[in-house]
Structure 1
Amino acid sequence: MITRREMTRVRRVCVAAWGGAAVSWELATPGPLVPSLATCAAFLLLATGCALHIRRGLLAELRRSQEIAGAAQRALLRPLPGRVDGVTLAAAQLSASRGAAVGGDLYEAVPTAHGIRVVIGDVRGHGLPALGAAAAVLGAFREAAYDEPSLGGVLLRMERALGRHVRDRARAEHPAVCAGEPESPAAEEFVTVLLLQIAPDDTLTALNCGHPWPYVIRPAPEPCAVRSGGSAPDPASRSSPRSPAGLAWLAGETLPPLGVVPLPPDPRPQACGELRPGETLFLHTDGAEDARDAAGRFFPLRSVLAEAPLTPARLVAGVHAALLRHTGGRLADDVALLVLRNDRH
């Protein structure tokens, strides 16, 4: 895809070439000064017209390329609905590749007959080169989440999809060596994955393959502001976003990342308690906690969450802005943020 920098460079080269040709012509052609200046001006006007024509064509091509890239990126990491089965959602993605809206991080949440099934993952590497593995894993989840009765079956389908992607990439990179099925693919890729299921009764089950566990954010008790005379609580106190009362990790056993070693034949999801009404889950990839500033200090994610409002959209926007401030807009790795709040009751 042609960038604006490349387009500007082409335009400058064209103008410089025409200007050089005009000056060389005038120096090599004897004659009066005034006609020579007129000829030189004509050359420069022609060069300007050609440069403007080239610029319009390159701008049109740039717009078409951006539209195609945007459509492809939205198809891979489509926007999440604001609410699914009584659970409010918000998400954001930050790519380490300049000009890209998505990278090697992935997330999705879908309502199924078994409850809301959620995935968040991180492909080895970052930016555009990791898109292939992210697309394979995310596509498998979107199909298996509806079909498989257990999270273990969903995870096995995702592992098989990643294996096919790695083998196909190995054959493409080394067609002479890997004419058949490669035993040790050269394209070694792995993906950290966290699978969650929020059942209709608010119980949580999870399968974690090398991914950071999410934070559970519990709201502070809402103060009962009673006016004189025993009137009802102030509605403004209920509508304002409250700060969290406490943070906890949704911890448990962790399997190796997908693609490192084969999964067990029957991965058993583990029970992780409940997501009670009003509680919030904050899911993230390791690019959030590993982000550093110019002095090498890590991003204080826990401190930011402790001071953030509980509204999912505001929580994501606040962490997003704090990350960009901390890193100066220069991310070393992709970052994905996903927030789910139980608003069923």
Structure 2
Amino acid sequence: MVQPGASGHGMPLPELYARVSRHVPAIEWPALAPDIEAILRLKRERNAVVLAHNYQAPEIFHTVADIVGDSLALAREAVKVDADVIVLAGVHFMAETAKLLNPAKTVLIPDMRAGCSLADSITAEDVRGLRARYPGVPIVTYVNTSAAVKAESDLCCTSGNAVEVIRSLNAPRVLMIPDEFLAQNTQAALPEIEILTWAGHCEVHERFTPADIREVRDSYPGVTVIAHPECPPDVVAESDFSGSTAMMMNFVIEKRPAQVVLVTECSMADNIAAANPDIEFIKPCNMCPHMKRMSLANIRHALETMTHEVTVAPEFADRARAAVERMLAVKPR
């Protein structure tokens, strides 16, 4: 767990500031430090942990978060958390997933408006309609969905384990919802399986185009381009590598390209760059307005007031939990 540094009379929390100094100007740090100190204190008092998605801003990701990662990592780590309170610095479906896996713990999300265009693109009624239209076809639901949608599914997947999850079904035909582009990109890796799709898209990733990639390559010859699989397939085809945020991060750290473009949400590059100053990160990127609803101030407020508590309706909690647990049971090959 992150521990606070000494405030002294100079730069407050100097050890923590060193982690984000490339992205937070020194003149702004004294305004952030009081919230960080308060969060660190409140975590001890409440026996709380902060789970932060890779898209969180560096001042959250590198100073107050206890566990960071992509959706799959957060889901796996949430089960292991030894705490009474979980604060989810991410979006609402992630907090619901944490609650599903920790029904006896208090799960808080600092801003209830932190939603997701993918989660909004499909309802439980839609899934029941698909089940009736395609009887006997297993339904794999991306974790970027509500608990009500998960409850109508056979099992869940993330962008990091979609191929393994679909293979585990040993079925010739699978419904993969709701991200159309993730399903199409997964289809490319599994040509032997017919993957039926739903027309849901991520508002961050759907805006990237092949022209964006070609423009970057023209401006930066030799640059390495890494795309998230929620991007359109023609964008992925223009890239050098595609994977979940965890896979993107591992690729950069292991391959250490001199220049790299991460075709995803902007804070991904900021968070990797903070720990890898020798790698030059070129943008374009797109901001997720929902992820950016998280702030040090509202994380602090969540712990001070124990709001906003996330609950899952009992009529579908068990079925949704089972879909997530079946995903977690799938082992990578």
- With the length of structure 1 as denominator, give the TM-score of the two structures: 0.29
Q: Which has the higher strand share?
A: 1
Which protein, 1 or 2, shows the higher relative CO under an 8 Å CA cutoff with sep ≥ 6?
Answer: 2
